[in-house]
Amino acid sequence: MSRDEGLVHQALLYGGEEEFLTATVPFLKAGLEADDAVLAVVPRPSSAALRDMLGSDAGPVQFFDATAFYRHPVRTIASYNDVVHSVAPRRVRVLAEPFLPGRSVLETIEWSRYEAVVNAAFATTDAQVICGYDTRRAAPDVLDAARRTHPMLLGWHGTHRNRSYDEPELFGIDCDRTPLPEPKEPPDALPFERLEDLRCVRRFVESHARRLAMHELEMAKFRQAVDSVVGNAVKHGSPPMELRLWGEDDFVVCEVVDFGHWRPDGLVGFLPPDPGTGFEGLWGARMLVDAVHVRAGWSGTVVRLRTRLHPEAPGH
């Protein structure tokens, strides 16, 4: 395949180990023969099976544990972007299994959106990617999203164009139609109107974070993310504006609410924005916390931030 065709992003929906290896081992070997930078970002059982099949050819392949690599969609995009630039002009070839069990409904939606964002983030690269989905374990909605977020499908008869594919912006808009769950308890609220109110906002956030026994490092990142979103609301939103904060299981949750009317394109805050667009705050916030959900309509705009109170490791 020539180097000027742009990103090749294909989904492999497989039903067993033999089918997985039959499709992926030749893909990895072709990358090695072409002197590509070859990555396998897969769960440990898949990694072991691939190493066995590759034998002595496994040496140049960079193996990563998918459980550690796929913890945060936006940071994962940034990590892949670092790889693409660090190995240039070599081509990047990735075998990935991004979907992991145990994720909530909202987390699953955001990882599906991640697959859509890949198409926009790396469209101008010549990277080649196979994303594997085990049909024995993945839920029907996950498999449906895989078909909608990959321009190409890989099967027994090779690669073919996917007629179910949606453009990233349209898929992202669909993701944002999922209602956000209501707080289990009434949240604490703080109105704000001006950038001068940021000092009160910070004290409010810090007070609640400490009451919930939030780790100091996570609190600093959470406060910075809230600052960014509140600043965006003051500059680009419409009053009245309000900050709402509550604890939820092992998370602290914050909503920034205003009555500004706009239509997000489904990718806002998932790609590094151009300076001055007004979306720098959302990109920064997504990098700092575990999840940011945006809902906008005639009733105004809600930006909800969630971050874990007790992360498994600093800088997770």
Whole-number Å distance between alpha carbons of 123 and 145: 19
The answer for residues whose C-beta is within 8 angstroms of residue 140's C-beta and 6 or more apart is none
Whole-number Å distance between alpha carbons of 294 and 292: 7
SS (H, E, C) 67-124: HHHCCCHHHHHHHHHHHHHHHCCCCEEEEECCCCCCCCHHHHHHHHHHHHHHHHHCCC
Q: What is the pLDDT along the chain (316 residues), one digit of tens a residue?
A: 344 579 999 999 999 999 999 999 999 999 999 999 999 999 999 999 999 999 999 999 999 999 999 999 999 999 999 999 999 999 999 999 999 888 989 899 999 999 999 999 999 999 999 999 999 999 999 999 999 999 999 977 778 999 999 999 999 999 988 889 999 889 999 999 988 888 999 999 999 999 988 988 999 999 999 999 998 889 888 899 999 999 988 899 999 999 877 776 778 778 876 655 555 678 889 999 999 999 987 788 999 999 988 776 434 4
Condensed to tens digits (0 to 9), the pLDDT of residues 146-160 reads 999 999 999 777 789
Is the entire prediction scored with pTM above 0.85?
yes
* Chain-centre distance for alpha carbon 101: 16
